[in-house]
Structure 1
Amino acid sequence: MDQAPGSRPDDARSGLPVCYRHTDRETGVRCTRCERPVCPECMVSASVGFQCPECVRNGSGTGHAPTANRPRTLAGGTVAADPHLVTKVLMGLCLAVFVVQLAVGDRFTDRFSLLGLAYVPELGSVEGVAEGQWYRLLTSMFLHLDYFHVFSNLLSLWFVGRYVEEALGRTRYLALYLLSGLAGGALAYLVDAPNQPSLGASGAILGVFGALAVLVRRQRYDMRPIVAMLVIMAIITFGWSNVSWEAHVGGLVGGAVIGFAMVHAPRDRRALVQYGTCALVLAVIVVVTLLRTAQLT
């Protein structure tokens, strides 16, 4: 329950007030508007001092418009009215593309799935990333084999994606998702046989899960559910046939690296570290793709 402005909850041991939102955290900082005690996670920079999320959200900061200095997520993103919007849009895209696959048939799937280099009879030509069709690294992330494939991935994305999006914010979350999927595709392109097609959102979703594991560790929550899910994913990845372990591993590692940068970046260099890491991961993806293309051509 929120405390009234000006109240001073004191800790018996140190005499310091505790954050009005996190009662286990002592703080010496108060909102310059309502004087609520705020911890570093809750404080929002103002022209003078700091403000609490409520004052910023209501636009009550002196001299500030309601949109100025909005509350920030754990990773520094803007808190949105719908914190799960990007997850919903990604799920909608996967479902819409699957409907198109059912309507158009194999010709559509063959055109946009991940393929290194092969002759495709349905298309009557040599196709693949090595032929310059780099778009396949992206489009294959939204294709699926069958009903079970698409709905299991959508369920997994909803389960893990909404928490990560809420913690990172929309832009950072979207960057995480796309780069994780590209990382998984790049590793599959590098290791798989060139004529082995692959498709699915699993690499991107594993990347989101990797970021979730980092986030749970950062918040010091119970890691046992995460470890159990990792074991299940490992069994599925390496125990089932027709599963691209390369896409899973590449997505998981890429997502964990980006997630670590997102939640552990120092506040004063947050954007530089976060987007610099994203750029570095993208550069690695490009280099891997170029090296594999040079081998195949």
Structure 2
Amino acid sequence: MTTQPDHPSPSDRPQDHSEPGPSDAVPTCYRHPDRETYVRCQRCERPICPDCMREAAVGHQCVECVREGGRTVRRAEAPFGGRPVTTPIVTWALLAINVLAYLGEVVAPAQVLGRFEMSSYDVAMGEWWRLITGAFLHAPPPSYWHILFNMWALFVIGPQLERMLGSVRFASVYLLAALGGSVAVYLFGSAAVGASGAIYGLFGAMFVVARRLGYDARGVIWLIGINVVLTFVIPGISWQGHLGGLVTGTLVTALFAYAPSGNRKAVQLGTVLVVLAACVALVTLMPPLGA
């Protein structure tokens, strides 16, 4: 007959867990070893302290995982490159500059126009700034229809175009169209003021964008056609500035819109530089033919 021993053997005694082993060590932040934490990164599972936590879709991630994840997220872009536009700040800035310039004409028309209007003779004498400043001036008071029409057109089509092109590309189209209009005035005219060259450039840009995105462009064609006819019907209008801006704005936007996606930014930057260089070369090498 077998009997149980009065005292259990060492193997039968319960284990004593009062002393922690290596596996029971308190976890610390992988970036701050002196800080205890029981929170782990949902991506790499490393322990992270509150200073290293970044909110994620589920739980928290560490700084490095958030940074690594950001590299793989594709940034939203406007249809033709650039950052998406929520507030058309370039359009509002151009409107403000034109209005402020006109107020300057109200206060001192002779001084402002005499110093900043587009004049072929003065540009040939080295006053190059007139190629741009003239595009921000308008027929002086008491004439108001000139600036009203141009600012209305900019207000209507500017925000839409800026959202399509992105702010930087929109500004490039506007300024290059203004410059192209002034260069045409320099070559074939004598003097002019007004943002009409830039506005006609935006008309051309609207046509290109509509065709590129598959929209119905007939309305834009009618708009351009009517304004070109008015350019030659109404006396005192600079056809050189209008057509120069129209051609330049259309060309620049076409090269922006149809640039290959693989190297779009390089082609668009090259477009700006080439058109700018061409305008400078025409003014530098050619005498004013219409002055």
| Normalised-by-shorter TM-score class | 0.7 to 0.9
Q: CA deviation at 1:136?
A: 0.2
Which of 115, 119, 122 is residue 119 of structure 2 equivalent to? 115
Q: Aligned partners of 1:80, 1:64: CA distance in 2, in Å? A: 24
Which of 187, 191, 201 is residue 207 of structure 1 equivalent to? 201
Q: Aligned partners of 1:217, 1:252: CA distance in 2, in Å? A: 16
Q: Aligned partners of 1:203, 1:135: CA distance in 2, in Å? A: 16
Q: Aligned partners of 1:100, 1:69: CA distance in 2, in Å? A: 46
Q: 1:62 to 1:291 in 2, by over 3 A?
A: closer
Which of 148, 152, 157 is residue 149 of structure 2 equivalent to? 152
> Which segments of 5 or more consecutive residues in structure 1 lack a partner in the other structure?
1-60, 118-127
**8 Å CA contact 1:141, 1:199 repeated in 2:** yes
Q: CA deviation at 1:227?
A: 1.4
Q: CA deviation at 1:80?
A: 3.0
TM-score (structure 2 length as normaliser): 0.72
> Which segments of 5 or more consecutive residues in structure 2 lack a partner in the other structure?
1-65
Which of 92, 95, 108 is residue 91 of structure 1 equivalent to? 95
Q: Aligned partners of 1:294, 1:212: CA distance in 2, in Å? A: 31
3-state SS of the aligned residue for 2:119? coil
**8 Å CA contact 2:86, 2:163 repeated in 1:** no
The one-letter code matched in structure 2 to 1:170 is S
3-state SS of the aligned residue for 2:191? coil
Q: CA deviation at 1:291?
A: 2.4
Deviations 1:167-196 (A, max 9, x none): 11111111111011001100110011xxx3
Q: 1:228 to 1:62 in 2, by over 3 A?
A: same
**8 Å CA contact 1:113, 1:143 repeated in 2:** yes
2:135 aligned with 1:135, yes or no?
no
Match of 2:286 in 1: 292
Deviations 1:247-284 (A, max 9, x none): 11111111111101111111111011111111111111
2:84 aligned with 1:79, yes or no?
yes
The one-letter code matched in structure 2 to 1:80 is V
Q: CA deviation at 1:74?
A: 0.7
Q: CA deviation at 1:237?
A: 1.2
Structure with a larger share of its residues in helix:
2
Q: Aligned partners of 2:228, 2:166: CA distance in 1, in Å? A: 28
2:150 aligned with 1:176, yes or no?
no
Describe how 1:7-22 pairs up with structure 2 within 5 A.
none
Say how many residue pairs are matched: 224
**8 Å CA contact 2:78, 2:85 repeated in 1:** no
TM-score (structure 1 length as normaliser): 0.71
Q: CA deviation at 1:224?
A: 1.5
Match of 2:54 in 1: none
Match of 2:269 in 1: 275
The one-letter code matched in structure 2 to 1:216 is A
**8 Å CA contact 2:187, 2:288 repeated in 1:** no
Which structure has the larger Rg over C-alpha atoms? Answer: 2
Which of 134, 158, 161 is residue 161 of structure 1 equivalent to? 158
2:234 aligned with 1:240, yes or no?
yes
Q: CA deviation at 1:223?
A: 1.6
Which of 178, 183, 189 is residue 186 of structure 1 equivalent to? 183
Q: CA deviation at 1:69?
A: 4.2
Percent identity (aligned): 33
Which of 96, 103, 109 is residue 105 of structure 1 equivalent to? 109
Deviations 1:105-150 (A, max 9, x none): 2121111001111xxxxxxxxxx00110000001001001131111
Describe how 1:56-75 pairs up with structure 2 within 5 A.
63-65=68-70, 69-75=74-80
**8 Å CA contact 2:105, 2:112 repeated in 1:** yes
**8 Å CA contact 1:137, 1:186 repeated in 2:** yes
Query: RMSD between aligned alpha carbons?
Result: 2.3
Match of 1:226 in 2: 220
Q: 1:81 to 1:239 in 2, by over 3 A?
A: same
The one-letter code matched in structure 1 to 2:100 is A
